[in-house]
Amino acid sequence: MDFSSINFLAVLVAALVSFVFGAIWYNPSILGKTWQKELGFTDEYLQEGSMPKIFGSSFVLMLIMAFGQAMLMAHSHQGFGLSNGAMHGFMIGLMFVGCSMGINYLYQRRSIKLWLIDSGYQITFLTLQGAILGVWP
């Protein structure tokens, strides 16, 4: 694939927006406490994790997702714009990521509330990524 049509700055910005949006989505005053309760995580348990490793790895994965979405958009050879880019990201989030997470959550016997929180985040940030990549080719 020819990467010359990919706007790497837009990919970076899309990943950064996704990361910041996650900090808002999972903020304890928004959905963080409900997410924590659904998983049975205590505050102490969450403190035990290596935040640089978790946040750094999460950002790298979001960067890969933004790059993948940019590759798919570039492969279509059409201009997306804001609304089409957002719809592209939404469809990827809903049809692939949300459904894949749903399958895993069914087998793991996780709650629908947890699935709605986690897949809602993924769908929303992929929509945001698509909008950014669509408007900033």
pLDDT per residue as tens digits for the range 50-83: 999 999 999 999 999 999 999 999 888 677 899 9
CB–CB of 66/85 below 8 Å? no
Residue stretches of the chain with pLDDT short of 70:
1, 77
Instruction: Give CA–CA dist 19/6, Å, rounded.
Output: 20
Instruction: Give CA–CA dist 101/72, Å, rounded.
Output: 21
Residue whose pair of structure tokens reads 């089409």 in the numeric block: 84
Per-residue CA distances from 16 to 10, 20, 77, 82, 110 (Å) = 10, 6, 25, 18, 29
CB–CB of 127/93 below 8 Å? yes
CB–CB of 93/123 below 8 Å? yes
Structure tokens at 50: 């290596």
CB–CB of 116/83 below 8 Å? no
Residue-range domain boundaries for the chain: 3-135
Instruction: Give CA–CA dist 62/23, Å, rounded.
Output: 13
Task: Provide the pLDDT for residue 1.
Answer: 67
Degrees to nearest 5, angle at CA 8 with 5 and 14: 115
